[in-house]
Structure formats: C-alpha cells, structure tokens
Structure 1
C-alpha cells in the first residue's frame, strides 16, 4: 500500500480512534486492544517505504525520532484518558480536554518531524506516519487497560460485585 491508499487508511483509523476516545465507552474483558495497532504496524512495515532510499541514514534517524515522539503521544493519550468503574463493576473510559491537548500536541510534534525532514531534503512516507500512529495507539490502549485493571468500584451495594474482568 502506498501514497493515497495509506493516507486514506490513516484518516479512517484516526477518525475511528478520535470518536472512540472522546465518547463514553464501556471496556469489555475480551477486548483485543492490541489488534488494531498490530494491523497498522504490519501494513506500515509491509509497505517497505519507511525510509527515504536516497537518504537512508538521515531517514532512519528521523524515523527513530518519529517513533519516540509517538511513544510520548501514546503516554499522553493514555494518562489523560479518564477510567472509572460504576456501581456494578463495569469499567468505562472517556477522553478529557487534556486528551484533546495531547492530540493537538502530537499533531504539532509529528508535523515538526516531517518539517525537519523536508527541510533536510528527506521524505518520510505515509508508512512512517502509520507506524508512529500504531505505536501511539498501542501504548495508549495498553495504559488504559492497565488503569482499568486497577479500577475497583468505591461502593457496589450490600454484596460485593466481582471485578470487571470476572463478569460475563
């Protein structure tokens, strides 16, 4: 996949992730939170255009910076996502205003990496953006799941309810 198809996949996934991050959503125990980032990463690597063939060393450095920025963005998304348990022990999530700030900061940071590359004459393709987004999403989802595993309802009534992982 190259160029336009990759860009369309990125736009579609970003739209899906944005909608899901900012609406109240119940987490399920069988949720495969790692699947979408894994698919995106495989598509990005399979494309084979992660680096600029004319500036390999510089593009590898820029890709590394992109991935480090992506780790930071994922941490920002994960830490700013609100996670709570209701009275039945179900765990819920919702992005906050700080999450929106993390999104905007992430866009600016990624734009800066691309801009630096272009100023140096290095072209990082859409595959590097897709891989970076996959890394951010994987870290965000992992942090949210860790936060969810630590959630316990403050009060569940007279009889203690099972934790959200144990409920069917």
Structure 2
C-alpha cells in the first residue's frame, strides 16, 4: 500500500478508537479485541518499505524505538481508562482526561521520532505508524481486559480508577 493509504488507515483507526474510548461502553471481555491490531499488523508487515534499506540500522532502530514507546504508552493508556461495574454487573469502561493526555503524549513521541528520522534522512513508511498503532491497541486492550478481570463483582459501587 502507498504511504497515503497507510496514513488514511491509521487516521481512520485513530478516529474510530478515540471516539469509542471517550464514551462509556460495556466492556465485552469475550470480544475479539486482538482482531483490529492483527489486521493492522499484517497490513504493516506486508510493506517491504517498512525498513529503509539504504539506512537499515537507523531505520530498524527508529522502528524499534517507536515500538518500545507504544508498548509503554499502550500500558499507560490502559491504566487511564476508568472501569466500573454497572447495576447489571457488567463492566463499563470510559476514557478520562488522562487518556487524552496519553494520546497527546503518544502523538508527540511519534512526531519526535519522525523528526529524528527526517533529520537523519531515513525514509519512514506509513507502515511503521500502522504497526505502532497495532501494538498500541493490542497492549491497551490487554491491560484494560486484565484490569477488568481484577474488578470485584461486589456491585455497582465497585470503581477502579
């Protein structure tokens, strides 16, 4: 896929996920939360230009730094989601102001890494963003689902921040 198409896919995924995260929704632990990250990851890894072969070491280092950053930010994002039990016993989730701050931080880190790559004349494919988004979403979902399993089933007053 072209870089433009990759960026459109990443932007669409961002809009979809961000919109869903900022409103209260029932957390379905049986849902296939790994499906969107899997699709994004496969699409990203199919791109032979994910690594700049003229600057292989720098390109791999930037990609690895980006993936380490999204591992951390995905964890942070997962911990910023407010979880609680509804009256019917189901687990509810909603993003907070800290969630927005985590998104802003992640975007700033990605811009910084892109700037470093540009300064070093490393070609950066939109597929690296797509792979980062896949890892970010997967880690966030794993953290949120893990936290949800730890919620006490004591009723509607059980709140975990």
TM-score clears 0.5: yes
1:153 deviation in Å? 3.4
**Aligned residue for 1:88?**
88
Q: Is the 8 A contact 2:89 2:155 kept in 1?
A: no
Aligned residue number for residue 108 of structure 1: 108
Total equivalences in the alignment: 156
Query: Which structure 1 segments of 5+ residues have no match?
Result: 157-168
Give the conservation status (yes or no) of the 8 Å contact 1:87–1:153: no
String of CA shifts for 1:87-145, please: whole Å, max 9, x gaps: 22100100000000000000000110110011111121100011011111100011011
C-alpha distance in 1, partners of 2:96/2:61?
33
Q: 8 Å contact 2:29–2:145 — kept in the other structure?
A: no
Q: TM-score, normalised by structure 1?
A: 0.89
Instruction: Say what the alpha-carbon RMSD is for the aligned residues.
Output: 1.1
Greater Cα radius of gyration, structure 1 or 2? 1
User: TM-score if structure 2 supplies the norm length?
Assistant: 0.93
- In 1, the alpha carbon distance for the partners of 2:112 and 2:71 equals 16
Q: Which stretches of structure 1, 4 residues or longer, exceed 4 Å deviation after superposition? A: none
SS state of the match for residue 136, structure 1? helix
Structure-2 residue corresponding to 1:52: 52
Unpaired runs of 5+ residues, structure 2, are: 157-161
